[in-house]
Amino acid sequence: MTGPRYTPLAAALPATVPFVGPETQERAMGRPFAARLGANENVFGPSPLAVEAMARAARDVWMYGDPEVHDLRAALAAHHGTTPAHVTVGEGIDGLLGYLVRLLVGPGDAVVTSDGAYPTFNFHVAGHGGVLHRVPYRGDAEDPEALVARAAQVGAKLIYFANPDNPMGSWHDGAAVARMVEAVPEGSLLVLDEAYVDLAPPGTAPGLDPDDPRVIRMRTFSKGYGMAGLRVGYALAAPGLVAAFDKVRNHFGVGRIAQAGALAALADQPHLAQVRDRVAAARAEIARIGAAQGLAALPSATNFVTLDCGGDGAFARAVRDGLAARGVFVRMPFVPPHDRCIRISAGRPEDLAALEAALPGAMAAARG
């Protein structure tokens, strides 16, 4: 009796996943984490108005969600000063990246990204047979000029660039991003991942022509809006590219409750402003806690802080594992030299108190 007949491409893919979730680690430990500070979730939560809207929508969850996501797309278009024809909505940025790669990348097609940048994008490219070309960071930030230059060299279909960046928290101002768009080579598309831009300093997001065929901007309700568990993201692009998503997307992938919650969250901009203030305070507290143990905080435009542990990747992993053993979940970059760091999400006072209590012991264990 035969099993599934995988395609040669699928059979050749490694059996790996980009992230091991905190729940997996908790099951392995047999106990929950005291502080969940590794997934860049917004622990301050969604707008109360969004929670109320989702509760109301739950009564009608027997119905599918609107497959056109009409109301949310219209609200997003108004929020960004464009039209619904420039907006597509999907199951978080991860889902939209998958659809985009499916539309544009086939076996052997070149794609450019930064070495150590968000790995889920790489998994999508590998899953469709694309060839990844990785460009080193420039210091602790992605290098827009090098990304564009490599794309021109290899004839890349896609250029992935996150601003602000994960895992380092670094960012470029809007003028630098606009220059990058102007330099995109013919036949390439810039994938501008702006997952954290709602938490970034003013001027980080460039003013771009929504009809520009050289760029697609991706945003999410997971970070600033505090709805990571809902899985709602959206992309802003020229109408032709947006319409192409309808060929491949799951038209019922964004459910009724999710649409209602995102719509209400978008309308509550005062709540988002409060989140920004709380995130800024948490970043300062993480920096203080790290400095007390000799760890340097890198500048951050996100809801996390990357702490330089001052050693190599093995030392940083020992610190990370020491924190996990003491009930605090954090993550770290994957690629040298950034794996000298650990990455800590903005937390509530009780979360950061747990971090402060655990860090001295983790550092001592790593040094010992």
Examine residue 50 and state whether it is found in any structural domain, yes or no.
no
- What pLDDT, on the 0 to 100 scale, is given for residue 46? 97
- Cα separation, 75 vs 311, in Å, equals 47
How far apart (Å, rounded) are the C-alpha atoms in residues 49 and 267?
Answer: 9
Domain termination residue (choose one: 221, 240, 267): 267
Asked which of 239, 267, 295 is the last residue of a domain, the reply is 267
Q: What domain range includes position 216? A: 58-267
Domains contained in the chain, number: 2
Domain stop point among 238, 267, 296: 267
pLDDT of residue 306: 98
pLDDT recorded at residue 15:
82
Same domain, yes or no, for 250 and 121?
Answer: yes
For residues 354 and 223, membership in a common domain is answered with no
* Rg of the chain in Å (alpha carbons): 21
What CATH number does residue 280 fall under? 3.90.1150.10
214 and 287 together in one domain: no
Same domain, 276 and 206: no
Q: Are residues 252 and 286 in the same domain?
A: no
User: Is 236 part of any domain?
Assistant: yes
Q: What pLDDT shows up at residue 111?
A: 98
pLDDT tens digits for the chain (368 residues)? 788 988 888 888 888 777 788 999 989 999 999 999 999 999 999 999 999 999 999 999 999 999 999 999 999 999 999 999 999 999 999 999 999 999 999 999 999 999 999 999 999 999 999 999 999 999 999 999 999 999 999 999 999 999 999 999 999 999 999 999 999 999 999 999 999 999 999 999 999 999 999 999 999 999 999 999 999 999 999 999 999 999 999 999 999 999 999 999 999 999 999 999 999 999 999 999 999 999 999 999 999 999 999 999 999 999 999 999 999 999 999 999 999 999 999 999 999 999 999 999 999 999 98
User: String of b and e for 118-138 (b: at least 16 CB within 10 Å)?
Assistant: bbebbbbbbebbbebbebebe
> Are residues 183 and 282 both part of a single domain?
no
Same domain, 233 and 305: no
- pLDDT score for 344: 98
Asked if residue 296 and residue 241 are part of one domain, the reply reads no
Q: Which domain CATH number covers 180? A: 3.40.640.10
Using an 8 Å Cβ cutoff, are 29 and 326 in contact?
no
Does residue 31 sit in the same domain as residue 165?
no
Residue 11 lies in a domain: no
- 147/121 Cα distance (integer angstroms): 15
**173 inside domain:** yes
Do residue 138 and residue 256 come from a single domain? Answer: yes
> Which pTM was predicted?
0.95
Q: Tokens 């709380």 identify what position?
A: 278
Indicate whether 188 and 89 sit together in one domain.
yes
Residue 182 domain-assigned?
yes
Question: 270: cis peptide before it, omega within 30°?
Answer: no
Residue 3: the pLDDT is 84
- Give residue 37's pLDDT: 96
Report pLDDT for 13: 86
Residue 188 in domain: yes
Q: Is 106 exposed, middle or buried (0-12, 13-18, 19+ CB in 10 A)?
A: exposed
Answer whether residue 12 is part of any domain.
no
Please report, in angstroms and rounded to a whole number, the separation of the first and last CA atoms in the chain.
55
Q: Does residue 3 sit within a domain?
A: no
Same domain membership, residue 254 and residue 203: yes
- Run of H or E including 218: strand 215-220
For residue 201, the tally of other CB atoms under 10 A from its CB is: 12
